[in-house]
Homo-oligomer: A and B are copies of this chain.
Amino acid sequence: MEELILLGHGSGGGLSHELIENVFAASFANPLLLPLEDASLFPSPGERLAFTTDSYVVQPLFFPGGDIGRLAICGTVNDLSMRGAAPLYLSASFIIEEGLPVADLKRVVFSMAEAAAEAGVQIVCGDTKVVERGAADRLFITTSGIGVVRDGVDVSAQNARAGDAVILSGTIGDHGITILSQREGMQFRSGLESDAAPLNGLVAAMLAESTGVRAMRDPTRGGLATTLNEIAGSSHAGIEIEEGKIPVSEGVEWACEMLGLDPLYLANEGKLVAIVPAEDADRIVKAMRSTRYGANAVLIGRVTDEHPGRVILRTRFGIKRIIDVLASDQFPRIC
């Protein structure tokens, strides 16, 4: 097989077939994908379905803790999970710049297969387009996903109510600061690493403990601050969080101080924030802590009927300040 991706790999002809067989089918092999039809067919997995899509344009393609492929699987698995859905079937579509080493593509595709196996999802359909040198930056991936929502589950950013507890599943800022430091060529002693991870196992543990979970979001672009604002806005409720309770790793804290960044606005790819009834909060946190990706879960605040639509941070010094959505455009291509 060729060593570099050629325009012909996207032509729909012989080279396309070769690429599909040697790279995609080889890693994603499953009975739903393999007939390589125009669409994949399967029995409906349940009565209520969830459907989502995201494009991934992260730069660089490979970084500590992950790569664009792991991100593309985890991001879509997580978007489904944030509605309380169990993710099942994913699509994967590739836009490739002519000249990308086939070895890089294989590495990404293998990483996708690994992440899909970890999450227990199948990649059942896909597409490949190749554009000329300079018409794209190496590789973009778009994944979509279908999940099933079981009876009694109703998770929506509109459902937060005054009195609810706010839970965060772990440290924030790891993904964002890792990408930034890679891109700027900065070396931090502390070994920063992206948190890219599939959260469906964590969510399953939460819903097994209580189907009362009201809202969940994964704080990706815009970070925790923006995500909480979205929930506050959708639910017409106020949210108050305590800075001192939000876990931030030593490495991220140090890097943020160096760079003058606020971890509240940095992207995460393996964390979630959940709004749950106060009376279920301790049990849910305990269930989260029993899972790999929820080991550092913690209560960080509460929902209030004051200042609807606003998020208030109580700082370590006891001062309250409004935190708004991300306003700046300083970090493109973080995911």
Question: In the complex the two chains form, is B51's CB within 8 Å of A91's CB?
Answer: yes
Question: In the complex the two chains form, is B42's CB within 8 Å of A44's CB?
Answer: no
| Interface-side segment among A33-41, A242-250, A290-298 | A33-41
Asked whether any CB of chain B lies closer than 8 Å to the CB of A263, the reply is no
Question: In the complex the two chains form, is A44's CB within 8 Å of B44's CB?
Answer: yes
Residues of B contacting A331 with CB < 8 Å? 11
Partner of A82, one of B38, B56, B82, B333: B38
Residues of B contacting A329 with CB < 8 Å? 6-9, 11, 13, 15
Taken together, the copies of this chain in the complex come to 2
A interface, by DSSP: helix, strand, loop or mixed? mixed
Most buried by B among A47, A126, A332: A332
Residues of B contacting A181 with CB < 8 Å? none
Chain B min CB distance to A49 (Å): 5
| Interface-side segment among A106-114, A138-146, A184-192, A310-318 | A138-146
Asked whether any CB of chain B lies closer than 8 Å to the CB of A24, the reply is no
Question: In the complex the two chains form, is B332's CB within 8 Å of A10's CB?
Answer: yes
Q: For residues 206 through 231 of chain A, which have their beta carbon under 8 Å from a beta carbon of chain B?
A: 217-218, 220-222, 226
Q: For residues 2 through 59 of chain A, which have their beta carbon under 8 Å from a beta carbon of chain B?
A: 6-17, 35-57, 59
Q: For residues 301 through 335 of chain A, which have their beta carbon under 8 Å from a beta carbon of chain B?
A: 324-329, 331-333
Alpha-carbon gap, A235 to B284, bound state (A): 52
Q: For residues 82 through 137 of chain A, which have their beta carbon under 8 Å from a beta carbon of chain B?
A: 82-83, 85, 89, 91-95, 98, 124-132, 134-137
Question: In the complex the two chains form, is A137's CB within 8 Å of B146's CB?
Answer: no
Alpha-carbon gap, A98 to B329, bound state (A): 11
Given A13-B326, A329-B7: A51 touches B42 (CB 8 Å cut-off): yes
Q: Mark A140-182, 1 if CB is under 8 A from B, else 0.
A: 1010111101000000111000000000000000000000000
Asked whether any CB of chain B lies closer than 8 Å to the CB of A79, the reply is yes
Question: In the complex the two chains form, is A328's CB within 8 Å of B13's CB?
Answer: yes
Alpha-carbon gap, A37 to B215, bound state (A): 10
Asked whether any CB of chain B lies closer than 8 Å to the CB of A74, the reply is no
Question: In the complex the two chains form, is A144's CB within 8 Å of B15's CB?
Answer: no
Question: In the complex the two chains form, is A79's CB within 8 Å of B226's CB?
Answer: no
Residues of B contacting A220 with CB < 8 Å? 12
Question: In the complex the two chains form, is A39's CB within 8 Å of B82's CB?
Answer: yes
Question: In the complex the two chains form, is B55's CB within 8 Å of A49's CB?
Answer: no
Alpha-carbon gap, A46 to B17, bound state (A): 32
Residues of B contacting A222 with CB < 8 Å? 11-13, 16
The 10 A-B residue pairs whose C-beta atoms are closest, nearest first, are: A12-B221, A8-B329, A13-B326, A12-B222, A144-B144, A53-B91, A39-B52, A142-B142, A135-B137, A38-B82
Q: Given contacts A41-B48, A134-B137, could you give 19 more A-B pairs where the C-beta distance is less than 8 Å?
A: A11-B222, A11-B331, A12-B220, A12-B221, A12-B222, A13-B327, A14-B324, A37-B157, A39-B52, A39-B80, A39-B83, A39-B145, A41-B83, A42-B48, A51-B125, A57-B135, A95-B140, A129-B140, A129-B333
